[in-house]
């Protein structure tokens, strides 16, 4: 199966989860991530706004704020392709629809430098146990993870997914940055 076919299959599976299944599994995956040493050690956590059936990150945001951590969210710039990072107060009602219809911070929100990010909660369409990730194909997160690791080599990269999104193996390109772990409803898997 090629990347496009796998991407379509995984997105379709996410979108066919019942609201109850998605809530149960998504909550368990978030709890697994909150229980990691990487989350405990982080001062600034880069989250994402869930899109197209992704595991939401609302419980992670709430736990981070309760623990006094700083939150950041990405904002997409289409040309040239890149993500900007902005401070986020945890209220999804303050976000606006940005590029690709994804909720994101406004451009005038305070920015967060890549070197300040200690934990990146990484979305993905699929992951493997080696930490390889399949995204939507735009390359935004590939460039972002390189940028964050260059600025802060100790930053933890943790994928967040449903268990069925873990596949035996994914192709890896030279520019890909693997995640350190993946949190699912079955627990957190170190890569």
pLDDT digits (tens, 9 = 90+) for 59-98: 999 999 999 999 999 999 988 889 999 999 999 999 999 9
Of all residues in the chain, the percent with pLDDT exceeding 90 is: 86
- DSSP string covering 45-96, please? EE-----TTPPP-HHHHHHHHHTT-EEEEEEEETTTTEEEEEEE-S-GGG-E
pLDDT at 1: 75
Of all residues in the chain, the percent with pLDDT exceeding 70 is: 100
Residue 43, pLDDT > 90, answer: yes
pLDDT at 176: 82
Mean pLDDT of 6-14: 95
Confidence of residue 121 (pLDDT cuts 50, 70, 90): very high
Mean pLDDT of 117-141: 93
* SS3 category, 26: helix
Q: What is the pTM of this model?
A: 0.94
pLDDT at 154: 95
For domain 3-190, give the fold. Answer: Rossmann fold (3.40.50)
pLDDT at 117: 98
Domain borders along the chain are: 3-190
């Amino acid at each position: 199966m090629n990347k496009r076919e796998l991407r379509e299959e995984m997105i379709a599976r996410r979108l066919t989860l019942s609201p109850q299944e998605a809530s149960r599994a998504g909550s368990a995956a978030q709890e697994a991530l909150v229980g990691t040493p990487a989350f405990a050690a982080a001062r600034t956590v880069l989250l994402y706004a869930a899109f197209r059936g992704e595991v939401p990150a609302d419980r992670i945001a709430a736990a981070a704020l309760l623990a006094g951590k700083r939150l950041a969210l990405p904002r997409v710039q289409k040309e040239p392709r890149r993500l900007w990072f902005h401070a986020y107060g945890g209220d999804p009602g303050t976000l606006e629809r940005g590029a690709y219809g994804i909720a994101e911070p406004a451009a005038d929100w305070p920015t967060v430098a890549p070197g300040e990010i200690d934990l990146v909660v990484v979305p993905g369409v699929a992951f493997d146990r080696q930490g390889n990730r399949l995204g939507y194909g735009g390359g935004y997160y590939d460039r972002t993870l390189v940028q964050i690791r260059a600025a802060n080599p100790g930053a933890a990269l943790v994928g967040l997914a449903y268990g069925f999104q873990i596949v035996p193996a994914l192709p890896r390109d030279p520019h890909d940055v693997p995640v350190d772990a993946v949190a699912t409803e079955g627990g957190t898997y170190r890569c």
